[in-house]
Amino acid sequence: MKPGVGRSLVALAIVGAIGWITASQLEFRADLSFVFPDQVSERTRFLTDRLSDRSAQGTFLIAIEGGDEGARQRLSLEFSRALSAKGSFERVANGAGIVTPDGFEYLFENRYLLGPSWKPDEEFSSPL
């Protein structure tokens, strides 16, 4: 063995051991919840929980507003076809069967956390 090779191997082993010990003590997080303040709104907590349990990752819920019902329907179908044709998405449901019954119940119970703030004294607009 060449002179100094043994010392280099020992030094490399020591650096590797220190690196392994350091990495084993670190806490790795895949979300950004640690940047939120301690007191967060229900809406932020809801969205953070959905992202951390991966139930909402990769799911897009898009609302189309304005125009008349026919125009929104045409735009929705065109948008759905364009996304499906692109091939970048595993599934484009366009509102059909997008959630399991349990998921629907959860979304229904928390529906006001997803939209603008609502006050009890406000009236609902008529459904479409």
Q: What is the pLDDT of residue 39?
A: 74
Mean pLDDT of 109-123: 64
Query: CA triplet 53, 59, 64: central angle to 5 degrees?
Result: 140
Nearest-5° Cα angle at 89, 85 to 95: 90
Average pLDDT over residues 10-19: 95
Tokens read off for 13: 């082993």
* Per-residue CA distances from 37 to 26, 34, 53 (Å): 22, 8, 20
% of the chain beyond a pLDDT of 90: 16
pTM of the model: 0.35
Report domain extents, the chain. 31-114
Query: Half-sphere exposure of residue 35, counting CA atoms within 13 Å on the CB side?
Result: 4
Q: DSSP letters along 57-126, please?
A: TT-------SS-HHHHHHHHHHHHHHHHHH---S---TTSS-S-HHHHHHHHHTHHHHSS---TTSPPPP
Tens digits of per-residue pLDDT, 53-88? 665 556 777 788 888 999 988 998 898 899 889 888
